[in-house]
Amino acid sequence: MKSPGALVFFIFSFSIYFHSSTAQEVSKGHFVAAKEFLKMDSTRLAMAELDSATRIAPGFSEAYALKGQILEKGENYRKAIEQYSLAIAHNPGLTQAYLKRADLYFKLKDHRNFVINDVDEAIKLNPESSELYALKAYYYAHTADPLTLKPDYKNAINAITTAIYLDPKNALFLKERSEYKFRNEQPLAALADIDKAIAIDDSNDSFFYYRALIRFMMGNYRSALPDLSHAIELNTKEYSYFQLRGNVLYNLSRYDRAYDDYSKTINLLFIEITKTKKRLSSDDPLNQDLRQTLLLRGMALVQENKPYDGCDDFERALQMGESKAANYIRKYCQ
């Protein structure tokens, strides 16, 4: 027979266990309810359920992570970061919480070291993940180094190289390294990588476009032309392909064909603009591409000794906010 003291201790221990078990079940119930409310787009009620879940079970990391997702969706980034941080504090093994927090720091644009640190933590948990090294490379290439205030292409190249080592047949990784090398003023190395990417996957139109872009930027217009034509064969709906081929043809003094490609570019741009269903500001990339292409098409006519035929394009570009068009009008349309 157990002594009275032992019996009291047993009852006390069972009580704690029972209470703890009940608390976990109750908190999980609130968590499940929160998910159901989210399915009904009721974020307010979902957050209330999650608040109850974390109040009952303060170590419930998944609940904090879900709070973070809700706040992130509402673009309340700083509060979302707080919730992801709580999730990590209670469970340092949550890879997605690190990645979510890194993405938010990236969006805030002023926490580059925090971004990289969080990706590094995710890599520690998944050291064989080539995608995480590729993500780290992307962040290096698209955030400013606090010391130089410029993207760190050198570290981006190192990170994507590790991704390629882990997944050597990934053509997209090779294409990304090609981009980083080109931006790091290594055009020949960039060409070598995009050649390797095309050798692995010759059905990706963007690879041929990018190789043509490198050659165009190097002034190798003739060698850029076949790649652009092939990219267009694979994808006839990408306006930037026609735009670049127009630029190549213009630089080769083939102005009539450049005019045709600029016209196709403009038609495809109108389709893209129509899809947006809104009036574009002068800073919108589609607006900028359209008015610049109008200038180039007008100049193709000027080079064909048809300056007045280009005046309509110059006028339209001016109306869209292209300041250069005023000079063209004064020079060719008076």
CA 220 to mean position of chain CA atoms: 29
| Torsion sign over Cα 300, 301, 304, 307 | negative
Q: What are the pLDDT digits (tens) for 18-27?
A: 344 576 787 8
- Within a domain: 32: yes
> How many CB atoms are closer than 10 A to CB 101?
31
CA–CA dist 160, 138 (Å, integer)? 8
**Domain that includes residue 39, residue range:** 24-104
- pLDDT-based confidence at 52, cuts 50/70/90? confident
Residue 293 Cα distances to 38, 89, 270, angstroms: 45, 52, 12
Averaged over 188-212, what is the pLDDT? 98
Question: Total domain count for the chain?
Answer: 1
Strands in 144-250 per DSSP E: none
Share of the chain above pLDDT 90, in %: 70
- pLDDT-based confidence at 17, cuts 50/70/90? very low
- Within a domain: 56: yes
- pLDDT-based confidence at 15, cuts 50/70/90? very low
- Within a domain: 33: yes
The residue ranking higher by pLDDT, 197 or 307, is 197
> How many CB atoms are closer than 10 A to CB 323?
10
- Within a domain: 58: yes
Residue 293 Rama label (left phi>0; alpha psi -120 to 50; beta): alpha
Identify whether the C-beta of residue 212 lies closer than 8 Å to the C-beta of residue 231: yes
- Within a domain: 30: yes
Identify whether the C-beta of residue 112 lies closer than 8 Å to the C-beta of residue 145: yes
- Within a domain: 100: yes
Among candidate residues 125, 63, 137, the one with its CA nearest the CA of residue 92: 125
The residue ranking higher by pLDDT, 294 or 33, is 294
Q: What are the pLDDT digits (tens) for 179-191?
A: 999 999 999 999 9
Task: Tell me the whole-structure pTM to 2 decimals.
Answer: 0.85
- Within a domain: 248: no
Rounded mean pLDDT of the chain? 90
What pLDDT score does 29 carry?
82
What pLDDT score does 21 carry?
55
- Within a domain: 110: no
Among candidate residues 113, 98, 103, the one with its CA nearest the CA of residue 144: 113
Phi, psi of 290 (to 5 degrees): -65, -50
CA–CA dist 174, 138 (Å, integer)? 13
Q: What are the pLDDT digits (tens) for 315-330?
A: 999 998 888 999 999 9
Q: What are the pLDDT digits (tens) for 223-252?
A: 999 999 999 999 999 999 999 999 999 999
Identify whether the C-beta of residue 269 lies closer than 8 Å to the C-beta of residue 245: no
What pLDDT score does 18 carry?
39
Phi, psi of 131 (to 5 degrees): -65, -35
Among candidate residues 233, 215, 232, the one with its CA nearest the CA of residue 224: 215
CATH of the domain at 79: 1.25.40.10
Identify whether the C-beta of residue 100 lies closer than 8 Å to the C-beta of residue 122: no
- pLDDT-based confidence at 112, cuts 50/70/90? confident
The residue ranking higher by pLDDT, 109 or 115, is 115
What pLDDT score does 160 carry?
98
- Token pair recorded at residue 267: 């038609």
